[in-house]
Amino acid sequence: MGLFTKKTSDDTSKSEEAKKPKKAMPKKDAGVNDEILTPESQANAPAVKAKKATAIKAAKGQAGESYRVLLSPKVSEKAANLASTNVYVFNVPVTAEKIEIANAVQKLYGVKVVAVRTARGQGKPIYRGVKKGRRNQWKKAFVSVKKGQTIDLYEGV
């Protein structure tokens, strides 16, 4: 076939098939709330809820890339003690930056982040006979949340 050939009737039938509507996507559950919770929307909530410390978690679709920044909450006795002082500990990728971590926590949990501190660990060498290896590097983030707001990380643990 040449570059400058005219369209044939076969080409038009293909384009008509492409124009046909695709199957409809299944509807969402009625119980799923599409509202994105932000600190501003929490401030405008009724006064009864403002007195009580709230624990909020966004749906996975609303959080965007936040699930790639926050790998998991750190479950330890020290992390549980820090949670009582509004500091929450998360495992994060070694490449994560403090601003990314703060934005991810705000999007996922709808709380105001006051400060983020990080700690890095180098992988230690491992020797198994002649074979030499290395453990993985790690990074954890200590996220301070505004007083009166909480994140419910440890339910069912």
140 neighbors 89 (Cβ within 8 angstroms): yes
Instruction: Give the per-residue pLDDT at 142.
Output: 97
Whole-model pTM over 0.75: no
pLDDT value, residue 44: 72
Domains of the chain: 61-157 (3.30.70.330)
* pLDDT at residue 50, rounded to an integer: 43
CB contact at 8 A, 107 and 56: no
CB 144 within 8 A of CB 83: no
Q: Quick one: pLDDT at residue 52?
A: 52
Q: State the pLDDT at residue 46.
A: 61
In the prediction, which pLDDT does 51 show?
Answer: 47
Q: Splitting the chain (157 residues) into consecutive groups of 10 residues, what average pLDDT does each group show? A: 59 57 58 62 58 54 77 92 94 96 92 96 95 96 94 74
